Structure 1
Amino acid sequence: MALHIVHFEHQGRARWGVLRENQIIPVPGHFATTGEFIRGTSHDELARLSGPGLAESEIKLLSPVTRNQQFVCQGANYRQHMIESGMDPDAKTFNMLFTKAQSCIVPADSELVKPAHVRFLDYEIELGLVLKRELAHGLTVTRANLHEFIAGIVIVNDYSARDVQLPQMQFYKGKSYRTFGPVGPYLCLLDARDMPRLEQLQLTLTVNGEVRQHDSTANLVFGPAETLTELAGLQDLVAGDLIATGTPAGCALSIPSPRAQRIAALLPEKTKWELFMKTQARRTQYLKAGDRVESRIVSADGSINLGVQRNRVVDESRGAHEHEARLRAIHSPGDGQP
């Protein structure tokens, strides 16, 4: 049975709770990080938790993934997104992996701050996997034992400054600005019976009410089990770490056709990127101040619902100091978000 877990602030204190029928039942104990919470609780205990609840209006939601956890991402991992990016999903034999700065993690409904120098701000809805335990070298993760390694799932938006990411060939830099990684609103804890539904989740992202992205995790090229197996052979990961599994087609970014890319490769570097900038400048889909982005992930049968993530775009020059003050308040010492 899927459980909705919230990380929240109430009366100046960061807490964890189980969301049940619009009431938040606080979990006893202090857990400074997502990893501590996962290691210090069990799915069955949380499912049985009872007691007086808090209304959502009484609390302030925090990110269910705390900032001390690693933030690993997969790129070009949905078939149609690969095709629109000029790649052949049947020929691509490698899993594209990169990281985002932990400092870009913010609560689900945070404002998205568009840096003053960024022209092409893009959205990327993604399913996030939250680890249950350490991934040790040599581990093999399969569909049969996946429940031993995944504690739960979250909504992630991998916001990206395309005019930094691509011309500078800087995935980390272009995707790691502060506020570029909203997570939540909920951490949906799963048990073994829920794992097959990871292949049946529907992702939908809208901008100002218009559907821009919609796809199913059935179309992932590299699934969770094979990705976790590869990561286990690559790096150390622990309970609470976050893996974003890639975004569907429909981003604002326009990728030239393979033929156009071959021609561009013959041009001087400066000319090539000037043409890229001119092409992107014609794309009205890029985010601007005032735009509102909403992200939803639900299972086909409705038994898993990760809530709605809402972000309003604001210019860095408008209210930047106030926004930084809010972030400092959210991530102040003692809230479990270093």
Structure 2
Amino acid sequence: MAIQVVHYLQDGTAAWGVVHGGRIAPLPRTYASTADFVREGMEAAWASTADQATLALNAVTLLSPVTSDRQFICQGINYASHVRESGMDPARIPFNTLFTKAPSSLAPAHTDIVRPSHVRLLDYEVELGLVMRRPLTGPVTVTPDSLHEWLAGVTIVNDISARDVQLPQVQFYKGKSYRSFGPTGPFLLLLTPAEWRRWPDLHMRLHVNGQPRQDAYCGDMIYQPHQTLTELSALHDAHPGDLIATGTPAGCAARAPGKLVMWIMRHLLSDATKWRLFINKGLGNPAYLQPGDTISTSIRTDDGALDLGEQCNRVVAA
């Protein structure tokens, strides 16, 4: 049965534990990073029992289960619904889009999201995060049935994005890497080999101020985890504890204009004019995040057997 691992702060000391019915069973050792936990602590986590749960979950401060010394790798446009709302045809993007995000953007699941003073078009993206178990240091072929050999677990990621930086400057890294732009957790969910086969059943939901914005199943991914790990292994080293965010479905605040407007912008307007119009139109879109907004994000199977917990983040002005 899957287990929920937490990284938490108590009395100024960071520790790891396993959640049993709203209480935490502290692990007997401390681990400085997610890499250390994955390499040295997973066996103890699997052995944890409910009678060891001596600490109330609401009595501690939860930290990100992925520490900031790990890589933050991302997939873009990996759901057909999001490709379409971005103004593109999924059939015309026959490749896996990969990029990185600054690990310094990682944040706890219940932290405030700080909107920088120059950012006006702040967006959200619920994503399934994969946490590495084994190193990828050369080409390998990962199969759907071998995910448990390569991955330690899954977690929730909200890929916060400054669209007025990301798109006009054509800089995914810059527009997505401000501090607090990567709420992660609250749980690192460890799965059995059989449970890894259920990742397509994970149901992602995101609400802003109680209003539903995103609602999709992870099985709608275009490039699935085994395919991404296989491709990644041929070009980029990954290590235990590293995080891979697997893309977001439709429902983001950013929307592409209609086909006629797209044609005019592409063929008749300068880049400076095009992006000025994009930003001005976005300023009238109430779906973009504003200071005071609250985002709630969850991923779980509909039967509740696999539950990654829930994030709750408030947007604040810098």
TM-score, scaled relative to structure 2: 0.96
1:227-265, CA deviations, whole angstroms, 9 ceiling, x for partnerless residues?
A: 011111111100000000001101000112344323212
Per the alignment, residue 55 of structure 2 pairs with 54
Structure 2 distance, partners of 1:6, 1:184, is 8
Structure 1 distance, partners of 2:245, 2:142, is 17
Per the alignment, residue 102 of structure 1 pairs with 103
For 1:74-85, what aligned pairs fall within 5 Å after superposition? Answer: 74-85=75-86
Per the alignment, residue 147 of structure 1 pairs with 148
Structure 1 distance, partners of 2:298, 2:120, is 26
Per the alignment, residue 175 of structure 1 pairs with 176
CA distance 1:146–1:52, shift in 2 (3 Å): closer
Per the alignment, residue 91 of structure 1 pairs with 92
> Conserved in 1, the CA contact under 8 Å of 2:2 and 2:190?
yes
Structure 2 distance, partners of 1:23, 1:108, is 17
Letter in 1 for 2:290: K
The gaps in structure 2 that reach 5 residues or longer are: none
For 1:240-259, what aligned pairs fall within 5 Å after superposition? Answer: 240-259=241-260
Structure 2 distance, partners of 1:155, 1:212, is 16
User: SS of the residue aligned with 1:73?
Assistant: strand
For 1:308, which of 304, 307, 310 is the aligned residue? 310
For 1:127-138, what aligned pairs fall within 5 Å after superposition? Answer: 127-138=128-139
User: SS of the residue aligned with 1:265?
Assistant: helix
1:44-93, CA deviations, whole angstroms, 9 ceiling, x for partnerless residues?
A: x4232242510113211111000000000111111111111122223321
For 1:270, which of 264, 269, 272 is the aligned residue? 272
Structure 2 distance, partners of 1:257, 1:149, is 42
User: SS of the residue aligned with 1:136?
Assistant: coil
Give the total of aligned pairs.
Answer: 315
Letter in 1 for 2:22: N
> Conserved in 1, the CA contact under 8 Å of 2:5 and 2:18?
yes
Structure 1 distance, partners of 2:235, 2:298, is 31
The gaps in structure 1 that reach 5 residues or longer are: 317-338
Q: What percentage of aligned pairs have identical amino acids?
A: 49
Letter in 1 for 2:313: N
Letter in 1 for 2:46: A
User: SS of the residue aligned with 2:241?
Assistant: coil
User: SS of the residue aligned with 2:58?
Assistant: helix
1:103-159, CA deviations, whole angstroms, 9 ceiling, x for partnerless residues?
A: 111110000101111110001111100011101211111102111011100010000
Q: Does 1:24 pair with 2:24?
A: yes
Structure 1 distance, partners of 2:81, 2:200, is 16
User: SS of the residue aligned with 2:232?
Assistant: helix
For 1:271-290, what aligned pairs fall within 5 Å after superposition? Answer: 271-290=273-292
